[in-house]
Amino acid sequence: MESKAARIKLVLFDVDGVLTDGSVLIHADGTESKRFHIRDGIAMVWAQRAGLRVGLLSARTSATTVHRAKQLGLSVIRQGVVNKLDAYDEIVADLGFADAEVAYMGDDVVDLAVLARVGLSAAPSDAVREVRERVQWVASSAGGAGAARELIEVVLRAQGRWETLVASSASQVRVTPRMDAG
């Protein structure tokens, strides 16, 4: 698996059930909200800093997803996709990547066609059985609880970039001395 992860240049994620726990809160005014995990988000930012492209591929259309993608600086976003494989083919053609250079994390049967094509297929721990049984790697975390972070870490470690990112982040931490009351 490490050799497959070392070749990855593009990491794509399904949204509902992968970057979220699959819940959608519908408010009385018709708007919706979702919960995203901070560790998944920071990992996406780090992945882009390390030179990877990161994108979202979702069957649903959601303004919340667009907003989150903008926060993370993601430019590859496909929503309202009826056929995920067609959308995937467009993405890799537009960006010039081969299937072997793409990782995809999905959680449900609508993701199976894309998962079968990519170089590294992955799922959160709570993905449906049909997906977990067919992917190359299953995260220990559930969707919306750090699964995306785990996949990005696997890829960046295989490429020898993870420790550099950790060291860079650690050097930016400023510790304020504790002032004891008294």
pLDDT of residue 157: 96
pLDDT in tens, 40-62: 999 999 999 999 999 999 999 99
Cβ atoms of 162 and 153 closer than 8 Å: yes
Give the residue with greater pLDDT, 24 vs 174. 24
pLDDT in tens, 67-90: 999 999 998 999 999 899 999 999
First to last CA, the chain: 55
pLDDT in tens, 109-139: 999 999 999 999 999 999 999 999 999 999 9
Nearest-angstrom CA–CA distance, 59 and 80: 5
Identify which of 139, 62, 63 has the alpha carbon closest to the alpha carbon of residue 107.
139
Domain edges within the chain? 2-166
Cβ atoms of 2 and 151 closer than 8 Å: no
> Where does 2-166 sit in CATH, by number?
3.40.50.1000
What percent of the chain has a predicted confidence (pLDDT) above 90?
84
Spell 104-122 as b/e; 16+ CB within 10 A means b. bbbbbebbbebbebbbbbb
| pTM, to two decimals | 0.90
Nearest-angstrom CA–CA distance, 54 and 77: 9
Between 11-20, 22-31, 85-94, the lowest mean confidence (pLDDT) is in: 22-31
Identify which of 137, 150, 118 has the alpha carbon closest to the alpha carbon of residue 9.
118
Binned at pLDDT 50, 70 and 90, residue 172 comes out as low
